[in-house]
Structure 1
Amino acid sequence: MTMNEFDAEVVVVGAGPAGSAIGAYLAQAGHEVIILEKSGFPRDKICGDALTPRAVKEAGYLGMELPESDGWHRNKGLRLIGGGHRLELDWPEIDGTPNYGVTRPRMSMDEAFARHAQRSGARLFEQVRAMSPDIGDDGWIRGVHASGTDHRGRRVGPEAHFRAPIVIAADGVSSRLAVSMGLEKRDDRPMGIAARAYHTTPRHADDYVESWVEMRSTNAAGESETLPGYGWIFPLGDGTVNIGAGLLDSSPQFKSVDLRGMMNQWIADMGHEWGIDETTSLGPIKSAALPMAFNRTPHFHRGLLLVGDSGGMVNPFNGEGIDYALESARIAAEVISTYSRYPQAVMRRRLEEYPALLGDSLGGYFTLGRVFASIIGHPALMQFGIKYGMGVDVVMEFVVKLLANLYRDPKVSEADLIDRIISALTRIVPATSNV
């Protein structure tokens, strides 16, 4: 059987938000780009289905519009519940950043990003799985060997060879491509696990996304007890909500907790607030890993650039990944577009700027997040902070800005004391993607 051969300037493996975004950016800049997606659209992704204002801003850079008529449901802030407190906090007003977030089921959200990449000029191959890297004699990647897949993602052929001097790993938390190039995940980074399900609810159009920083349940003796982890409820505006729970590996219960059981218990105790129970469920609870704080490095390695989850770009503060998928794609695209047509030796050397720029942008904040992940792994400290912090307005303003990474940079805009404190904290910790 003759193998199909395809050539491009850049091959992107994975058509989630990160892969579709970098494909769109490069195509818009006039580059020949191929994106490979092992599944066919529409396809699901286990996630919270929410874009914070930072992610909405990144979608704007990409040239995407997010109208409610296309299924993007707007929210105006965050409702925090814990320690006997219930706070509704609007997203902060920051110049250049929208003051709203949006939600949309990943089943259609990811396809929206992928189709935008196609309209921008990228060639999208659906149901094509990258099986292995094509590595030259000099040890640098020069493309991927791939195979067709069926609707379940199983390899069925035909085989194909996609060649390019630059390859992007946007294939998620497991990143088979990165692993095959010798890039394993780092054990000195926090890892999370999250479970989510969809329910119908009369409150599907609520104006706030909801976060339970303290999840409590009633045990067999009728006593209230704290459940490990945190919970979320994201209204989708289509008659449903995305409801989920997450846990960090810094928690002492990480290896032993039944996350699905914990979530069912939480829903049973709080579901009356949203009109949800076992009868409103639209499917099983599904779970996935959350790779945090640059848990796979370096982000450029012998012609391979890592973006999004493949490079561990999930926020340790809140489990958000789409924002950082889009941001890393933008930074990588800028470097590639600048240097991809230089002589090979110069291009390869200049692409090393990508991890440095990524570290400058996110390194300090993610390092701060690693400290946060370590602290909340101590239940007593977490309970103390919830009990006494949630009743103080200025503390909660600080928390929301820090957790959502929404603060003014004092170097470029007018900033208040909270903005200055967060900015200072991110500067005094190591700001590199590789430490």
Structure 2
Amino acid sequence: MTSGPVAGETSHIPTETDVLVVGAGPAGSAAAIWAARRGYGVVLADAAVFPRDKTCGDGLTPRAIGELELLGLGDWIRERGVHRGVRLCGWRREVEFDWPGGSLPTISSAVPRIELDDKIRTTAVKVGAHMVEGAKAVRANRVDGRVQSVTFQTVGGDRTIACKTLVIADGVRSTLGKQLGRTWHRDTPYGVAVRAYVKSGRHDDPFITTYSELRDDSRKLRPGYGWVFPLSTGEVNIGLGYLATDKRPAHVALKPLLDSLVRQRRQDWQFDGPVHSVTSALLPLGGSVSTVAGPNWALLGDAAGCINPLNGEGIDYGLEAGRFLADLLGESDLTDAWPHLLRAHYGKAFSVGRRIAWLSMLPGVLALSGPPLLWSKILGRISIRVLGNLVTDEDVDLVARAWRTAGRGSLVLDRRAPFE
């Protein structure tokens, strides 16, 4: 197989493949890597020309680090800088916690998506995937429910690639997913996020920092959180996430709220100059997406709503799910197999996480629950672990068992389970 063509080199676009992956973010590129390693012919296509940016906090949790190591990128990520833990701030308190470890690595990192995504997708090319850039997927062509091919718009005209299996990892809006019936349900909490970059004298801080007490200039408490993630570039990623539902929409101007956060933290973080590259996004949280698969196609990553409802993180789920999906490529029908697998891995945590997120939006709840988490080191350690998606299937300790029990109970109460 040939490696990635530049945009417009339509003569290099294959006409057919075993596995067609639409979207070369972490989820799509991970799926391409694992499929290629299993011997499948893979085409990885994206509407952008790389390197390209994406709205994100850039944080890589210990769970994401573990997946990057499986992809062979452990040494590379350590060269980009690592963090030993998380610093929780709020209610006149700052507490630092090392990552708990256990079945997961004891480090985290933060790499701008313009670098991270390019690194993972070039890794996919190295193991055999054929990269097609500058190709926008506009139509999935089906016969009897099965996708036979996908039509792409390119600078050289429309091109069609036939496939045996289609993997859709085209982001939160998922244009291709919508064509196939994907529905994002906004009666459960969804995220509204904004991020920016700024030079910082503390860009080498060994902790990522979260601000659970998010207030605007009028000191009004908002149902979300802020963050500062140190980067190896001399800058930090600063941003905030806000929760909303259809019944409780986010009537807040994100840019002014970000400006408030920057002003409040400028001295602490030794910011040098103005923020730049300000972007925002909506995030489907906790598997709040239905119709995530069909006979020979499946949604992955943000397109499937695989985003933590408690911290807005989705890279680790995307990397993991890309690996899981590769194990199902031999299945004759993914319609039920894929959502069942997603629920088995994430259903309990997503269900209870959505309930906690919903509760945090109620007036007064955040002000009552926030201080104990900051003032009690025991509660703080537990919150870091469960809210940060650091409980794995291998963990059998009391906290892990309690978290899974809460998740099972929450699923029973769900009107619509994750991915249903």
- 2:284/2:307 contact within 8 Å kept: yes
8 Å contact kept, 1:293–1:316 = yes
Question: Deviation at 1:353?
Answer: 1.9
Structure 2 residue corresponding to 1:122, chosen from 118, 123, 129: 129
Report Cα offsets for 1:64-109 as digits up to 9, x if no partner. Answer: 3343575x220011101111111101110213x1111111111111
Asked whether 1:359 is paired with 2:359, we answer: no
Query: Structure 1: how far apart are the matches of 2:169 and 2:157?
Result: 22
- 1:291 maps to amino acid: P
User: For residue 15 of structure 1, what is the aligned residue in structure 2?
Assistant: 24
1:419 is aligned to 400
Following superposition, the deviation at residue 408 of structure 1 comes to 5.5
Q: What SS class does the counterpart of residue 215 from structure 2 fall into?
A: strand
**Residue of structure 1 equivalent to 2:324:** 331
Q: Is 1:36–2:45 an aligned residue pair?
A: yes
RMSD over equivalenced CA pairs, Å: 2.1
Q: Deviations over 1:9-35 (max 9, x none)?
A: 111100000110000000011000101
Specify the code of the residue in structure 1 equivalent to 2:202: R
Taking the aligned partners of 1:13 and 1:45, their CA distance within structure 2 comes to 16
Query: CA 1:208 to 1:306, structure 2 compared with 1: closer, same or farther past 3 Å?
Result: same
In 2: Cα distance, 1:114 partner to 1:204 partner: 27
Q: Which residue of 1 aligns with 2:76?
A: 67
- CA offset at residue 188 of structure 1? 3.0
Distance in 2 (CA, whole Å) between partners of 1:64 and 1:228 is 36
SS at match of 1:335: coil
Which residue among 96, 102, 109 is the counterpart of 1:94? 102
TM superposition shift of 1:185: 1.3
CA distance in 2, matches of 1:358, 1:172: 17
1:238 aligns with 2:222: no
Q: Which residue identity does 1:7 align to in structure 2?
A: E
Give the partner amino acid of 1:419: A
Q: 1-side partners of 2:141 and 2:373: how far apart?
A: 53
Gaps of 5+ in 2: 1-9
The change in CA–CA distance for 1:218 and 1:287 in structure 2 (over 3 A counts) is closer
State yes or no: 1:434 paired with 2:415: no
Write the distance in 2 (CA, Å) between the matches of 1:85 and 1:131: 50
Query: What does the per-residue CA deviation read over 1:164-214, in whole Å, with 9 as the maximum and x for residues that have no partner?
Result: 121111000010101011222123332111000000011001100000000
Q: CA deviation at 1:419?
A: 2.6
Q: Does 1:106 align with 2:99?
A: no
Give structure 1 stretches of 5+ with no counterpart: 149-155, 340-346
Tell me the TM-score normalized by structure 2. Answer: 0.91
**Alpha carbons of 1:66 and 1:308: their partners in 2 closer, same or farther (altered >3 Å)?**
farther
Deviation at 1:300, TM superposition (A): 1.2
Deviation at 1:157, TM superposition (A): 3.3
**How far, CA to CA, are the matches of 1:162 and 1:27 in structure 2?**
17
The answer to whether the 8 Å contact 2:36/2:129 transfers is yes
Task: Give the 3 Å change call, closer, same or farther, for CA 117–351 of structure 1 in structure 2.
Answer: farther
- Contact kept? 1:73, 1:237, Cα under 8 Å: yes
Q: 1:429 to 1:216 in 2, by over 3 A?
A: closer
User: Are the equivalent residues in 1 in contact too, given 2:351–2:418 (CA < 8 A)?
Assistant: no
Map 1:47-66 to 2 at 5 A. Answer: 47-66=56-75
The answer for the alignment partner of 1:305 in structure 2 is 298
1:13-412 to structure 2, matched below 5 A, reads 13-67=22-76, 70=79, 72-95=80-103, 97-136=104-143, 138-148=144-154, 156-219=155-218, 224-250=219-245, 254-276=249-271, 279-281=273-275, 283-336=276-329, 338-339=330-331, 347-348=332-333, 352-407=336-391, 409=393, 412=394
2: distance between equivalents of 1:400 and 1:406? 8
Q: 1:434 to 1:254 in 2, by over 3 A?
A: closer
